[in-house]
A = this chain, B = another copy of it.
Amino acid sequence: MDYLSELTAKGKNAKQAGRKLATLSTAVKNQALVSMADALEQEYRGILTANAIDVDNGRAKGLSESMLDRLALTENRIQAMAEGLRQIAQLPDPIGEVLSKERRPNGLEISKVRVPLGVIGIIFESRPNVTVDATGLCLKAGNAVLLRGGSEAIHSNIAIINVIAQAAYKAGIPVGAIQLIETTDRQAVNAMLKLKSYLDVIIPRGGAGLIKTVVENSTVPVIETGTGVCHTFVDESADLDMAQAIALNAKISRPGTCNTMETLLVHQGVAEQFLPAMLSLYQQAGVELRGCPETMRYHETVKLASDEDWATEYLDFILSVKVVGDLDEALDHIHRYSTLHSEAIITQDTNNAMRFQQEVDAAAVYVNASTRFTDGFEFGFGAEIGISTQKIHARGPMGLAELTSIKYLIAGNGQIR
């Protein structure tokens, strides 16, 4: 089957399944999630066998060790996926929630209720656990899902989808609700982006290149996720011990995540007191430092940052550091280079804290805490499908509610206009 026929057939199936899913009871959805979890654990051997093919192919193709690690599955990792599905089953069902209800002067009763989005397309890269997470969240919110994973994980993804889709269908989920694009033809991505008759939204999960391709080519509405050039600004009034702990954590606790700090801004009034020890700590932790000329004065390992550095999401043990004259200069820098993800100020000055939170345009704006908290679980959503860096529909960590739409139900008794 060529990629276009596959996409059209699966798109059509998904649309039909979505229509039925919208009216499914919470009990059926939850039972399906639990059955999917059980099936993953029972059939883990088949998944590991398929995964071994991907890992072997990846090694032969020269994938890096960190890439291979992201790709590789173990019994434990499969159990963690199953556990994730069981947790989603425990979350409240967002569908059917009445968000408002009002009787108009003409007697019309207008209710605003939460409904599924319909069919969600997910385009993602190497980690096979996304296949399970994304499917579970979309399903719980009443959506059909059409997945397109990276070619390097294709055998793993096919094996996983077969297991969870079978289990779901047996538990009463309509056939077509859970599908994976199986062709690895690269043109399939572009074709998927034009599948407007069948897809209600596309969520890309992956690197900046993938997200750019999706945003630039999709005629289906997109929820942009993930890119984070996050800043931490150490204000003149900061508690410098707190600043040190936060600035270290925000960079090194998990540098590959989008909520990691990429640029440290330091008020010139505390630079001399704060930076030498801070930069030493980074150096001891293996962080490569790139800074403005002023920063270079405080540690011999700091290389001169280029203009590109300020705009770069390193996702690595690399940090750019800049000394700024005041809060306004920090705000201007952030305004210029921020990807609107997560920004933090460390300060004891209430006015500056307030100005920072008001004036910085980002999904999450922190006072005296690490940007690493921008995460669906940390925010208490119980789940996360990604972190939106756009301003429409959803912003910041996206949980179940962000995978829904609304509709207005209007009850009348003959009203005309």
> What residues of chain A have their CB less than 8 Å away from a CB belonging to chain B?
19, 22-23, 102, 104, 108, 110, 115, 117-118, 196, 200-201, 215-216, 219, 221-224, 239, 242, 245-246, 248-250, 253, 335, 353, 357-359, 361-370, 372-374, 378-380, 390-393, 395-396, 405-417
Q: What B residues does A110 contact at CB under 8 A? A: 379-380
Please report the C-alpha to C-alpha distance between residue A19 and residue B369 in the assembled complex, in whole angstroms: 24
> Which B residue's beta carbon lies closest to that of A390?
B221
Q: Are A372 and B221 in touch, CB under 8 angstroms? A: no
Please report the C-alpha to C-alpha distance between residue A215 and residue B201 in the assembled complex, in whole angstroms: 13
Q: A414-B245, A416-B370 are in contact. Are A363 and B219 (CB under 8 A)?
A: no
> Which B residue's beta carbon lies closest to that of A409?
B357
Q: Are A359 and B22 in touch, CB under 8 angstroms? A: yes
Q: What B residues does A396 contact at CB under 8 A? A: 406-408
Closest 9 CB pairs of A and B: A369-B412, A249-B416, A391-B405, A393-B393, A392-B393, A372-B417, A242-B414, A369-B415, A364-B408
Q: Are B219 and A221 in touch, CB under 8 angstroms? A: no
> Which B residue's beta carbon lies closest to that of A20?
B359
Q: What B residues does A248 contact at CB under 8 A? A: 416
Please report the C-alpha to C-alpha distance between residue A22 and residue B359 in the assembled complex, in whole angstroms: 8
Other contacts beyond A23-B359, A117-B392, A368-B412: 13, CB < 8 A: A200-B392, A242-B413, A249-B416, A353-B411, A365-B409, A367-B409, A368-B413, A368-B415, A370-B415, A378-B417, A391-B405, A395-B408, A396-B408
Q: Are A201 and B361 in touch, CB under 8 angstroms? A: no
Q: Are B373 and A22 in touch, CB under 8 angstroms? A: no
Q: What B residues does A200 contact at CB under 8 A? A: 390-392
Please report the C-alpha to C-alpha distance between residue A365 and residue B408 in the assembled complex, in whole angstroms: 6
CB distance from A109 to the nearest CB of B (A): 9
Q: A117-B392, A391-B405, A395-B406 are in contact. Are A366 and B246 (CB under 8 A)?
A: no
Of the candidates B115, B378, B417, which one forms a contact with A104 in the assembled complex, judged by CB atoms under 8 Å apart?
B378
Q: What B residues does A372 contact at CB under 8 A? A: 416-417
Q: A370-B415, A373-B417, A415-B370 are in contact. Are A19 and B335 (CB under 8 A)?
A: yes
